Amino acid sequence: MGLSHNTAPVDVRESHAFPAHKMGEALIALRDYGAVKEALMLQTCGRLEIYAELEDYEEGVSQIRQFLGNFRHGGVEDMDSYMYTLLGSQAIDHLFRVSTGLDSMLIGEAEILAQVKDAFIQGQRAQSLGKTLHALFREAINAGKSARTQTDIGGQSVSIATAAVNFAIAHVGDLRGTSVVVVGAGKMGSLVARRLKAEGCREIRVLNRADMHDIVPAVANADIVVTSTGAQTFVLTMENVAAPLPNPPNSQ
C-alpha cells in the first residue's frame, strides 16, 4: 500500500511523511498487528509505501490503515483518493520498477537504490522482516545494481539535485561567478551545493532551519535560489520572494 508522486501532490505526501528518527519505532508498532506477518516501509521525497506479508488480505489492509491513523495520531481519510494497493506479482513488479529507477520522478534517479537499501536495513533492525520480504528486497536491490551497471539508465547520474543544477544552467547559462542560496542543509541540499560548487559558482550560502529569519536578505543578494527542505508549509512565498525585488511581480 502506498502513495507516490504518480498519485498524490507534494502537500499530501509531506503531510503523511514519517520523521526519519521514528521509522524504527513505526516498524516495531506495525509488526505487532495480528494480521501483519512481515512489514517494511519505504519513504522517499516522492513516495510512502508499506510492503507487507499478510495473514488475511482484508484484515491486514484494515490493520495497516489503523496503524497509519494510530501511529500518526490522526485520520487517514484524505489518503483514500491517493493510495494504491498492489497484490502478489503486481507488488513485486512495482518494487523492481522502484529499485531500478523506472518509477522515479526522474527516470533513473540515482538516490532511489540507496533509499531502498536503507529501508531494507531499517526493517532488519526493527526485526519486522521475515523470509518473504527479506528475499524480495535482496532481489530488488540486486536488480537495481544490475540496471545501473548493465544498462544506460544511470548514465546521466540523474537526481533531483542534478535536475536543479541543469535547470539553473538552462535558464542562467554559465554559472561561474554567480551567487547561490540553498535553502535546506539536508542530504539533497548538500548534493546541490556540491554540484553548484563544481560548476564554479562564486558564492554558495546554505540556510538551515535556524537561519530562516535571514531568508529575505539572502534571496535579495542571490542570482539563484534552490530550496530542499522537509517543511510542511511553503518556505518561499510570493511575499518573501517579491520583497527584495525592485519591480516585484503581481499576484499573477
Q: Where are the domains of the chain?
A: 2-150, 160-242
**What predicted TM-score, i.e. pTM, was given to this entire model?**
0.69
* Residue 240 pLDDT: 74
Stated as kind and residue range, the H or E segment containing 43 is strand 36-44
Helix pair 160-172, 187-198: axis angle to 10 deg: 40
Q: What is the DSSP string of 182-199?
A: EE--SHHHHHHHHHHHHT
The residues annotated with a catalytic role in the active site are 45
Fold of 160-242: Rossmann fold (3.40.50)
CA distance 149 to 155: 9
How many other CB atoms are found less than 10 A from the CB of residue 239? 9
Express each pLDDT in 29-66 by its tens digit.
998 999 999 999 999 878 999 999 999 999 999 999 88
| Regions of the chain where pLDDT drops below 50 | 251-252
pLDDT of residue 209: 79
pLDDT of residue 252: 45
Contact 190, 201 (CB under 8 A): no
Grid cell digits, residue 87: 497484490
Instruction: Tell me the C-alpha distance between 81 and 70, whole Å.
Output: 20
The CATH superfamily label for domain 2-150 reads Glutamyl-tRNA reductase, N-terminal domain (3.30.460.30)
What DSSP designation does 105 have? S
